[in-house]
Amino acid sequence: MKKIILHIAAFSFIASASYAQSTVKKAAPKAATVPTTTLDRSIRPKAGPAPEIKLGKTEQFTLANGLKVFVVENHKLPTLDISIQFDTKPALEGKAAGLSQITGELMTSGTKTKSKDELSSAIDNIGAEVNASTSGISAGSLKKHQTALLEILSDILINADFKQDEFEKAKKQLLAGLESSKNEPDAMLNNVTSVINFGKNHPYGEVVTDKTVANIELAACTNYFQTYVRPNVAYMAIVGDVTLAEIKPLIEKYFNGWQRAEVPVANYPTPTEPENNRVVFAAREGAVQSVFNVTYPIDIKPGTEDVIKLNVTNTILGGGSQGRLFLNLREKHGWTYGSYSSVDVDDIYGNFKGYAKCRNVVTDSSITELLAEMRKLNSELVPNEDLQNIINNMSGAFALGLENPGRIAQFAINIDRYKMPKDYYNNYLKNLAAVTPQDVKAMAEKYINPDNANIIVVGSKEEVAPKLKAFASNGTIDYVDNYGNAVENTTIVAAPAGVTAESVYNKHISLIGGEKVIATIKDVKTVFEAEMQGMVLNFSKFSKAGKLKSTVSVPKMGMTFQKSVINGTTGYSEAQGQKKEMTAEEIAEKKEELDPQAEIHQAAIGNTRTLKGQDGNMYVIEVKDAKGETSKEFYDIATGFKVKEVKTQDTPQGPMSIVVEYGDYKEVPGKKGYKVAYTVKYQAGPQAFDMKLTTIEINKGISDEEFK
């Protein structure tokens, strides 16, 4: 089945802040003026006083049902943007995690007055865009369509009507997304970080899985919507070419019918901040890079006294390409494309993260340097010049953001929602300019904790994990799966006496038919079906001695994404209409795919196998090909079948691990005794395919016309 890796792999290739700059025009010099002082350009000019901020006017009113409306006029363009945010603290989703996500998808799936197609048509007819979730809904259109836009939004919120067929589609889409993210390193890291920082009995620690999605029912989605999507917990922001006088009657007309209701507020446990350093490791098969967080929960609420000073501190540490982490790990050492830190300010509970993605060999060194930069902020005052540069950049970014009237509306909502001081944003630049090196050190001592952190790493267990024990205060590593569940640390141990790579491989060969049966195979046609982003894909392959054709297509649309053909010593590949002749070396690399009897010709192909040992319930074999490149095969000890292959492939974006899992071995119709895997799970970076064998034909006499 190594041939499948090579075939599918062909298809697999299918933030620093911006700073405002000002231009100063030089006045024409006066002819008689003689300078009385010399300008010393080595001395930085002193910063002037922080400018006063005059925020755009926000007008507001509240409907009888409790909906709070904020209006900001902006007559530069004849457009209108509307957003509605919901301030809720819902009950935990528990065994039905993913409930709110599916509910959000259903919000635009049709109403009591319009089917999904009719609703989509109404939105398209006014050139609008509507995005909805259970945390908010947003839309925009030209001003002349404001009445139609308000009517559509009110229809969605008041007359939502969830249907079983749309529910099943939303569920299927969520499952497809989960399948793609199962072996994606950043997705794994985010899952584990959420669970470790907050715990599974906290909303920020709930992780959506296949099992939790299976537990979600349509009635629960309807109940969630009716419980939490209510006007009395909603904030509406209207920004654009409108006035309060003209928009208020329309809001009242379309949203007064939205009924208020008592919205329950859940109580969540307080996350436990770590008392010392803990190392948590999630293994990722075939990983050539590690991704890690140094992280922990922190109690920091919006609008509180520490927020501005802490944001300055974080920006110095890792807020962008001028942050110390970036300058150290990337610019100085070249270990990563980027390393950053973030502070999540949250009304429930926030968190700190120091992040990097790096090569396996420098993972421990990268963690060491990240922790060192955290300690440096705790122990040393930031040079005033460095601090002023950061403050100036943050001031410029804030001022630039004020050009967006939507930001002004959000400020007004934040002040009301989080009970912030009324003059918080008016005084923002003044308070930002007042931050001192002593303030930064105080914030670091309070919130930047290099000795009380969860050090969470996703990567190669063999290459990376053993080096991480030194970072754990207790000298041990906690192993978890990609959802943060504790798992046993299984290590490769010696196989029982008498077990060899040859005996393991030969058992698999005997199970799939044996040498005599395989030797009779002259040609093979296979078609695997998979789904990606709602499209059904066919991965088809024709092979006979010395000849090969493979395609990736969308049969219902008559489209072929990728095609490769080898006819003896010549061949070509084709993608997106571009045809490229294969080199002799490229054809030679496909030697295994060109042989229908490859399983019994391994020595001639150039593959050698070495038994690495036993990992849990699997034997692990290292395969070295004719070029000296290695991959791993995993054989189920109980059944004897090969169940997984892992290899690394070079891509224009760098090395990428490819994992292929095999299951459901069954006899091929018409070929007595010969078995193949009817299900194949393929993962290459962020791309994942859950493939099912729909067609297999053996010795049907494939015409040479197929290979032209």
pLDDT of residue 50: 55
8 Å CB contact between 119 and 187: no
Q: Please say if the pLDDT value at position 380 is more than 90.
A: yes
User: How confident is the model over 381-393, as pLDDT tens digits?
Assistant: 999 999 999 999 9
pLDDT digits (tens, 9 = 90+) for 313-360: 999 999 999 999 999 999 999 999 899 999 999 999 999 999 999 999
What is the pLDDT confidence band of residue 54, given thresholds at 50, 70 and 90?
low
Residue ranges per structural domain of the chain = 59-255, 278-480, 494-707
Which SS3 state, helix, strand or coil, does residue 296 take? strand
Q: Which residues, 6 or more positions from 611, have their beta carbon under 8 angstroms from its beta carbon? A: 495, 499, 500, 501, 504, 619, 620, 621
For residue 28, is pLDDT > 50?
Answer: no
Closest by Cα among 56, 59, 84, 54 to 243: 59
Same fold? 59-255, 278-480: yes
Please name the helix (run of DSSP H) or strand (run of DSSP E) that holds residue 186, with its range, or none. helix 185-198
The pLDDT of residue 55: 67
Residues 6 or more apart whose Cβ sits within 8 Å of residue 29:
none
Is residue 656's pLDDT more than 70? yes
Please tell us whether the domain made up of 59-255 is placed in CATH 3.10.580.10. Answer: no
Distance CA 490, CA 614 (A): 9
Segment 408-426 shows an average pLDDT of 92
Q: Which of 3-12, 187-196, 443-452, 500-509 has the lowest mean pLDDT?
A: 3-12
Cα torsion through 655, 661, 666, 667, rounded to 10: 20
The band of 20, judged by pLDDT with boundaries at 50, 70 and 90, is very low
| pTM of this structure | 0.81
Mapped onto helix, strand or coil, the DSSP state of residue 146 is helix
Identity of the residue numbered 504: V
Q: What is the mean pLDDT of residues 110-125?
A: 95
At 126, is the secondary structure helix, strand, or coil?
Answer: coil
Superfamily assignment of 494-707 in CATH? Answer: Lipoprotein localisation LolA/LolB/LppX (2.50.20.10)
124 CB-side CA count, 13 A: 6
Give the mean model confidence (pLDDT) for residues 38-66.
69
pLDDT grade for 9, boundaries at 50, 70 and 90 = very low
Whole-number pLDDT of residue 4: 42
| Backbone dihedral angles phi then psi of residue 144, each to the nearest 5 degrees | -65, -15
Taking 60 as the threshold, does the pLDDT of residue 31 lie above it?
no
Which residues make Cβ contacts (< 8 Å) with residue 425, sequence separation at least 6? Answer: 53, 55, 411, 415
Contact 230, 223 (CB under 8 A): no
Q: What pLDDT does residue 288 have?
A: 85
| Residue 25: DSSP 8-state | P
The pLDDT value recorded for residue 229 is 97
The span from the CA of 125 to the CA of 136, in Å, is 23
* Reduced 3-state DSSP string for 342-392: EEECCCCCEEEEEEEEEEHHHHHHHHHHHHHHHHHHHHCCCCHHHHHHHHH
Residues sharing a CB contact under 8 Å with residue 59, sequence separation 6 or more, in sequence order: 70, 71, 72, 244
pLDDT at 244: 95
Write out the two tokens for 405: 């009237």
Residues 6+ positions from 26 with CB-CB distance below 8 Å: none
Q: Are 387 and 395 in contact (CB under 8 A)?
A: no
| Complete edge-to-edge strand list for the sheet that includes strand 234-240 | 59-62, 68-73, 234-240, 79-86, 136-142, 129-133
At 42, the pLDDT band (50, 70, 90 cuts) reads low
> Got the DSSP string for 512-550?
TT-HHHHTT--EEEEEEEEEETTEEEEEEEEEETTEEEE
CA distances from 421 to 83, 233, 427, 428, 435 (A): 23, 20, 10, 11, 19
If one compares 528 and 42, the residue with the highest pLDDT of the two is: 528
Say yes or no to pLDDT of 14 above 70.
no
Query: Measuring CA to CA, which residue among 536, 507, 512, 510 is closest to residue 524?
Result: 512
Question: What's CA 175's distance to the chain center, in Å?
Answer: 15
Sign (positive or negative) of CA dihedral 375, 377, 383, 386: positive
Cβ contact 701:545 at 8 Å: no
| Whether the predicted pLDDT of 111 surpasses 90 | yes
Residues 548 and 564: beta-carbon distance below 8 Å: yes
DSSP structure string for 598-654:
GGG-HHHHT-EEEEEEEETTEEEEEEE-TTS-EEEEEEETTT--EEEEEEEEEETTE
* Residue 680 and residue 693 in contact, taking contact as beta carbons nearer than 8 Å: yes
> According to the model, what pLDDT value does residue 403 have?
82
The mean of the pLDDT values for the chain is 90
Q: Which residue has the higher pLDDT, 643 or 615?
A: 643
Q: How many CB atoms lie within 10 A of CB 539?
A: 25
Cα distance from N-terminal residue to C-terminal residue, the chain: 25
Residue 654 has pLDDT above 70, yes or no: no
Q: Does residue 637 carry a pLDDT above 60?
A: yes
Q: Tell me the residue type at 483.
A: Y
**What percent helix, strand, coil does the chain show, rounded to 5?**
35, 30, 35
Identify the pLDDT of residue 29: 39
Higher-confidence position of 52 and 528: 528
Q: What is the pLDDT of residues 55-102, one digit of tens each?
A: 668 899 999 999 999 999 989 899 999 999 999 999 999 999 999 999
Q: How far apart are CA 571 and CA 584, in angstroms?
A: 9
Class (C level, CATH) for 278-480 = alpha beta
Q: Which candidate, 101, 83, 221, places its Cα nearest to that of 153?
A: 83
**Which of 39-43, 278-282, 546-550 is the least confident region?**
39-43
